[in-house]
Amino acid sequence: MKQITVSNVDKIYNSTKENAFYALKQISFEIEAGEIVILKGVSGSGKSTLLSLIGGLSKPSSGDIIVEGETIAKLPDRLASLYRYERVGFIFQSFNLLNGLNVYQNVTAPLMLSEWSASQREEKIDRALQIANIAHKKKQKVSDLSGGEKQRCAIARALVMDPPIILADEPTANLDTHNSLMFIEILKTFKAMGKTVLIATHDVLFEESDVIDRCIRMKDGEIVS
Amino acid sequence: MFSKNLIEYAVILLFKDRADHLFSFIIFTFIVSLLSAVLFVSDAIRSDLVDAAKFGPDIVVENTLAGRAYKLNEEDRESIADLAGVSAVEGDVEGYYYFSQQRVWFHLIGDSSLSLREMSIGEGVKEAMKVWHYDDAFNFFSTQGKITLKMLKTESKQTNVLSNDVIFMHPANVRAILGFKVDEYSKLLVTVPNPNEVGDITLKIVQLLPTVKATSKEDIQASYRHLFYYKGGIFMILYWVCTVAFLILLKNQISLAYGEKKKEIAILRSIGYAIKDIIALKFIQNALVAFSAFLLGVWIAYMYVFIFQAPLLRAIFLGSQLGRSVEFTPIVDLNLLFLLFVFSVIPFLAFVIIPSWKIAIADMSEAVR
């Protein structure tokens, strides 16, 4: 079953000015449900831009993005936010945790938009923390965590709503080899859970892993293979 | 309006940034307490005066000579009493006596219910006399010699602003001390039973005696209501202090939406928070700060003015040394407090919500990379 379909997507910055810049040119591909795909390319090749379009963080200049049968390219803010809330979990290169809060308070952030009771939230958070293997640091401030622990906290936050799609933007760029390999191990869990995962990376470790189903190579805003 | 969970998370984020919010809270509390204290003091004084005027005569007639108060005589009293609509005209003697040792003025007022050997004094007068060991009696000096009067009682502190520098004594004593003859008065107090006729009779009195000033009870109350010139003097300085403090506060409010907070908004947006959720979070956080600072500011002002009797500020309003003995009557003008609330809380909220909204509607993909 096709979970994500990207058709003829362009992303142009400063489109009305002289210095108009094509970040993405006529991008088209499809991803099956449960697939783990890496977007590979050097810095500036358009991987992160493509992830932000699929994640509903920004809108394409033209073309269409269909996720689970629904066009998300032109969604108004309320529906785009709902889409991110229910269907997408983000893992960022710089972790993007809320400093000053502890692990639990970071992971609970998406759940606070719901009407769930404290015990229901607790149950979901504990499950996400267990999967990400960070439950033992639950009450620790994120600013006191190591890079690998911050990454696991970000993974727990991405999983807490149990979204079908996980988008990871250079998830191992700030990690040492040990923690990078641990992240790849977690991908196996994602696979077992049936998550569709799209990873933007230029880390060779991913290519060596058998958990990756497919690799899409990008260069200068275009898919090259 | 807001879900319980969202309020809970807003509070968590509020405590995360408690240092920034504490600064806003302190400045806001300072502004509100300063302005509220000024309002409370001026309202208490005004209210005392307006209340006292309620029990005064319908028209007060004073004579002037070269622009200063001058005596009226029995002929004047009789001619006013003859006007249609006037039921009674009483001659009143009063004036100021300078107590040179303490360098203060006492306000002497005739009261025929008192005997020739006694007087009733205000709280401020009592304190001034006590400094010079006049504990039971006081000596007044006049062209007719020394007049010694016994202190009968002290006027209630609640009557306050008016009675503070007052000495009530038999009219004959006032005449003797201030040099009035038996048929001379400092004021005439006119009673008009029909309130609708007061305006006409006031005009008739001025026509009858062109050098007099006739003031109706309503005019006296109106003048008390506009007693304080809010656009000048000390008020202007207070406004400037508050304006500068408020600008600092607003600058701090704007900074609460930029810098690290800009990234925070982008992170929340990336995990599913809609623009309205971001606005709600910022509103809840800052409304909590604003409301609690406002309530604390008003409470501090209330305690400062009505419990501790406004040290420092009272000297600005009451001026004379005698003013130290005045006790402020607790009066709170809710309309003015509401205005203060509207003009402080709304800009306070707007200066963080509008920048937050501008950030929230921007493309967040760059901010979260």
Q: Where are the domains of chain B?
A: 4-51+227-361, 55-216
Q: Given a cut of 90, is residue B291 above it in pLDDT?
A: yes
Across the A:B interface, residue pairs with CB atoms under 8 Å apart total: 86
**Mean pLDDT of the region B93-98:** 91
- Cβ contact B198:B216 at 8 Å: yes
Does the distance separating the beta carbons of B3 and A115 come in below 8 Å? yes
- Cβ contact B325:B251 at 8 Å: no
* Phi, psi values for residue B233, rounded to 5°: 55, -130
From B97, B92, B87, select the one nearest B63 (Cα to Cα): B92
User: pLDDT band at B237, cuts 50/70/90?
Assistant: confident
Does the distance separating the beta carbons of B277 and A85 come in below 8 Å? no
Rounded-to-integer distance, Cα B145 and Cα B157, Å: 32
pLDDT, tens digit (0-9, with 9 covering 90-100), for A22-67: 899 999 999 999 999 999 999 889 999 999 999 999 999 999 999 9
Which region among B28-42, B184-198, B241-255 has the lowest average model confidence (pLDDT)? B241-255
A211: region left, alpha or beta (phi > 0 left; psi from -120 to 50 alpha): alpha
Pairing status of strand A2-13 against strand A62-67: antiparallel
pLDDT of residue A110: 96
Q: Which of B8, B272, B276 shows the shortest C-beta gap to A110? A: B272
Residues constituting chain B = 369
Q: Given a cut of 80, is residue A13 above it in pLDDT?
A: yes
How close is the nearest chain A Cα to the Cα of B296, in Å? 27
pLDDT of residue B161: 58
**B 6-65 residues with CB < 8 A to A:** 6, 8-9, 12-13, 16-17
Does the distance separating the beta carbons of A93 and B9 come in below 8 Å? no
Which region among A185-189, B276-280, B332-336 has the lowest average model confidence (pLDDT)? B332-336
Nearest residue in B to A117, CA atom: B5
Does the distance separating the beta carbons of A110 and B270 come in below 8 Å? no
Does the distance separating the beta carbons of A96 and B272 come in below 8 Å? no
Rounded-to-integer distance, Cα A112 and Cα B8, Å: 8
* Phi, psi values for residue A23, rounded to 5°: -80, -35
pLDDT of residue B112: 85
Query: For chain B, how big is the Rg over CA atoms in Å?
Result: 30
Nearest residue in A to B3, CA atom: A115
Amino acid letter, residue B92:
D
How close is the nearest chain A Cα to the Cα of B5, in Å? 5
Amino acid letter, residue B281:
L
Q: Which of A58, A78, A108 shows the shortest C-beta gap to B274? A: A78
* Phi, psi values for residue B287, rounded to 5°: -65, -40
From B173, B179, B104, B163, select the one nearest B134 (Cα to Cα): B104
Rounded-to-integer distance, Cα A46 and Cα A200, Å: 9
Q: In this structure, how many other beta carbons lie within 10 angstroms of the beta carbon of residue B195?
A: 11
Strands across the sheet with A21-32, in order?
A21-32, A2-13, A62-67, A70-71
pLDDT of residue B228: 63
Q: Given a cut of 70, is residue B234 above it in pLDDT?
A: no
pLDDT, tens digit (0-9, with 9 covering 90-100), for B152-182: 877 665 455 556 788 999 999 999 999 888 8
Query: For chain A, how big is the Rg over CA atoms in Å?
Result: 17
pLDDT of residue B320: 52
pTM (predicted TM-score): 0.76
pLDDT of residue B288: 95
Rounded-to-integer distance, Cα B295 and Cα B290, Å: 9
User: pLDDT band at A186, cuts 50/70/90?
Assistant: very high
Tell the burial category of B232 from Cβ atoms under 10 Å away from its Cβ (0-12, 13-18, 19+): exposed
Encoding tokens for residue B22?
Answer: 């504490």
**Mean pLDDT of the region B52-73:** 85
How close is the nearest chain A Cα to the Cα of B283, in Å? 15
Amino acid letter, residue B197:
E
pLDDT of residue B236: 73
Question: A108-130 burial by CB neighbour count: b if 16+ within 10 A, else e?
Answer: bbbbbbbeeeeeebeebbbebbe
- Cβ contact A158:A130 at 8 Å: no
pLDDT of residue B363: 79
Helix (H, G, I), strand (E, B) or coil at A204: helix
Q: Which residues in chain A have their CB less than 8 angstroms from residue B275's CB? A: 77, 81
DSSP letter string over B7-44? HHHHHHHHHHTHHHHHHHHHHHHHHHHHHHHHHHHHHH
Q: Which of A90, A93, A100 shows the shortest C-beta gap to B270? A: A90
pLDDT of residue A189: 94
pLDDT of residue B252: 78
- Please report which residue ranges of chain B form alpha helices under DSSP H: 4-16, 18-54, 74-81, 123-131, 171-178, 198-208, 217-225, 233-255, 260-270, 275-302, 313-318, 334-361
Q: Which of B268, B270, B276 shows the shortest C-beta gap to A57? A: B270
Give percent of chain B with pLDDT exceeding 70: 91
Terminal Cα-to-Cα distance of chain A (whole angstroms):
22
Rounded-to-integer distance, Cα B120 and Cα B102, Å: 19
Nearest residue in B to A77, CA atom: B274
pLDDT of residue A12: 93
From A118, A111, A157, select the one nearest A134 (Cα to Cα): A157
Does the distance separating the beta carbons of B267 and A57 come in below 8 Å? no
| pLDDT mean across residues, chain B | 85
Which region among B86-95, B121-130, B189-198, B312-321 has the lowest average model confidence (pLDDT)? B312-321
**Mean pLDDT of the region A98-126:** 95
User: pLDDT band at A4, cuts 50/70/90?
Assistant: very high
Q: In this structure, how many other beta carbons lie within 10 angstroms of the beta carbon of residue B98?
A: 10
Encoding tokens for residue A97?
Answer: 């945790």
Rounded-to-integer distance, Cα B326 and Cα B155, Å: 11
Rounded-to-integer distance, Cα B29 and Cα B33, Å: 6
Q: Which of B267, B272, B365 shows the shortest C-beta gap to A98? A: B267
Nearest residue in B to A160, CA atom: B271
Name residue A141's beta-bridge partners. A102
ipTM: 0.93
**Mean pLDDT of the region B298-317:** 86
pLDDT of residue B231: 56
CA quadruple A177, A181, A182, A184: dihedral, nearest 10: 140
Q: Which residues in chain B have their CB less than 8 angstroms from residue A163's CB? A: none
What domains does chain A contain, in order, with CATH numbers?
34-59+74-223 (3.40.50.300)
Terminal Cα-to-Cα distance of chain B (whole angstroms):
33
pLDDT of residue A39: 95
pLDDT of residue B319: 58
Helix axes B4-16 and B275-302, enclosed angle (nearest 10): 70
- CA dist list (Å): A120 to A113, A123, A206: 13, 5, 35
Q: Which of B8, B267, B274 shows the shortest C-beta gap to A96? A: B267
pLDDT of residue B56: 80
**Mean pLDDT of the region B94-117:** 89
Rounded-to-integer distance, Cα A183 and Cα A96, Å: 17
CB neighbours of B189 closer than 8 A, spacing ≥ 6? B56, B57, B59, B60, B61, B89, B90, B91, B92
Encoding tokens for residue A6?
Answer: 């990207």
Which region among A117-121, B53-57, B63-67, B83-87 has the lowest average model confidence (pLDDT)? B53-57
Nearest residue in A to B10, CA atom: A112
Strands (E), A127-194: 165-169
pLDDT of residue B233: 62
pLDDT, tens digit (0-9, with 9 covering 90-100), for A154-167: 999 999 999 999 99
User: pLDDT band at A147, cuts 50/70/90?
Assistant: very high
pLDDT of residue B232: 56
| pLDDT mean across residues, chain A | 93
Encoding tokens for residue B131?
Answer: 């400094």
**B 266-295 residues with CB < 8 A to A:** 266-277
Rounded-to-integer distance, Cα B206 and Cα B215, Å: 10
